[in-house]
Amino acid sequence: MPGIITLAHGSGGRGTYEILESLILSHLSDPMKRIEGGVGVDELDDGAAIPLPDGKYVVFSIDAYTVNPPFFPGGNIGELAASGTINDILMMGAKPLAILDSIVVEEGYPISELRQITNSMLEILKRYDIKLIGGDFKAMPRGNLDKILITTAGMGIAEHLIIDSNLAPGDKIIISGTIAEHGAAILAAQEGLKVEGRLKSDTEPLVDLMLPLLENYGEFIHAAQDPTRGGIAEVLNEWASKSNLLIRVSEGDVPIREEVRSFTELMGIDPFNLACEGRAVLAVDPRVAEEVLRFIRDLGFSDASIVGNAEESSRYGGNVVLKTVAGGLRLLERPTGSIVPRIC
């Protein structure tokens, strides 16, 4: 590991895991990593959980958002911060109830833009009756911060936790919609490119997807994650590694808009590595997978698709294999390096 922090350490891929293991995880004893009966930092899931006396769980999540630019096609950092934390709570199987926020702004930043950002964040919270119960605001001297940094912490209540390490042999992998749109939109904005078809971030809360799913099929969902940094490649590799299962994915079944596909080919970037901010990846019991897919589509997520499955493999467990549209096979590896810096 290099002796200085690089952008790759914050990319959400292999570099992030290595720095967390070096600085934090390796220095904690097992009892320090979780509250007894709950979910802690050793799971490296979307959040953490503490058991309640009635058998339910309080679920917590925290994330910092430093996207560049703060306003991008399809959203802004305020919408991103609210949506991201709400989605992390949902992916643990919980109903989001409240958040706290911390906003740090550079001296000289226009108040009119800051008002747009906070209004966007508050509008999402009001729409889903999620309370803003506390926060912090600071300003940094000009040049000591690049525009704005927002941190949001959320909490919710879960009756049944969804933990990614519970991926089981036979589980079908469902993606709720088209991939790579946030990552492509941010990259285009950073490069000052205007792409025909207008690339647009998919940033949105997944409340209208996940709450009905949890109510009707919660016990059949074995893993769930929103594929942010590192995209679906990172999510699937995390699941395969935690469960020591082989995940097979069919490239032709993964939904992707043509303008996103064309843009990523032009830029030489694998869309499987690009972030989504309004999509869910689900591992579902095969007995109900087709039924769950129809349910998701009936909720309005018409691009949802079953893209693969998990299976036992004594030789290839812990890996993700992609069947390409050309009919070949290749390993879909965890992203390395910083594909698109400051994406969320």
The two tokens of residue 199 are: 């690339």
This prediction's pTM: 0.94
Q: 158, 190, 205: which is the final residue of a domain?
A: 158
| Within-domain flag for 343 | no
**CATH number of the domain residue 51 falls in:** 3.30.1330.10
Number of H helices and E strands in the chain, helices first, is: 8, 14
- Residue 71: the pLDDT is 96
**Contact in structure between 205 and 189 (CB atoms under 8 Å):** no
Assess whether 183 and 148 both reside in one domain: no
210 and 153 co-located in one domain: no
170 plus 66 within the same structural domain: no
Domain count, the chain: 2
C-alpha neighbours within 13 Å on the C-beta side of residue 228: 27
Q: In terms of Cα–Cα distance, which of 163, 8, 150, 9 is closest to 80?
A: 150
Question: Which of 167, 160, 136 is CA-nearest to residue 62?
Answer: 136
What pLDDT score was predicted for residue 197? 61
175: its two tokens: 């993606």
Which residues fall within 8 angstroms of residue 306, CB to CB, at 6 or more apart?
Answer: 172, 173, 174, 253, 289, 290, 293
Structure tokens at 94: 């919980």
207 plus 321 within the same structural domain:
yes
337 lies in some domain: no
222 and 125 within one domain:
no
Backbone angles phi, psi at 79, to 5 degrees: -60, -40
β-strands 148-158, 57-65: how paired? antiparallel
- pLDDT per residue as tens, the chain (344 positions): 558 888 888 777 778 878 888 888 889 898 888 999 999 898 888 899 999 999 999 999 999 999 999 999 999 999 999 999 999 999 999 999 999 999 999 999 999 999 999 999 999 999 999 999 999 999 999 999 999 999 999 999 999 999 999 999 999 999 999 999 999 999 999 998 876 568 999 999 999 999 999 999 999 999 999 999 999 999 999 999 999 999 999 999 999 999 999 999 999 999 999 999 999 999 999 999 999 999 999 999 999 999 999 999 999 999 999 999 999 999 999 988 777 888 88
Nearest residue to 100 (alpha-carbon basis) of 121, 123, 114:
121
The whole-number pLDDT of residue 103 equals 98
Q: Which domain holds residue 237?
A: 164-331
CB 12 within 8 A of CB 234: yes
CA distances for 217 relative to 242, 309, 317, angstroms: 23, 18, 27
- How confident is the model at residue 2, as a pLDDT? 57
Residue recorded with tokens 């009635």: 54
Query: Rounded to an integer, what distance in angstroms lies between the CA atom of residue 9 and that of residue 7?
Result: 5
Taking Cα atoms as reference points, which of 242, 223, 126 lies closest to residue 175?
223
Q: Could you tell me whether strands 320-323 and 246-250 are parallel, antiparallel, or unpaired per DSSP bridges?
A: parallel
Instruction: Verify that 188 and 279 share a domain, yes or no.
Output: yes
Pairwise CA distance, residues 113 & 94, whole Å: 32
pLDDT given at position 307: 98
* 150 domain residue, yes or no: yes
- CATH number of the domain that 218 lies in? 3.90.650.10
DSSP 300: T
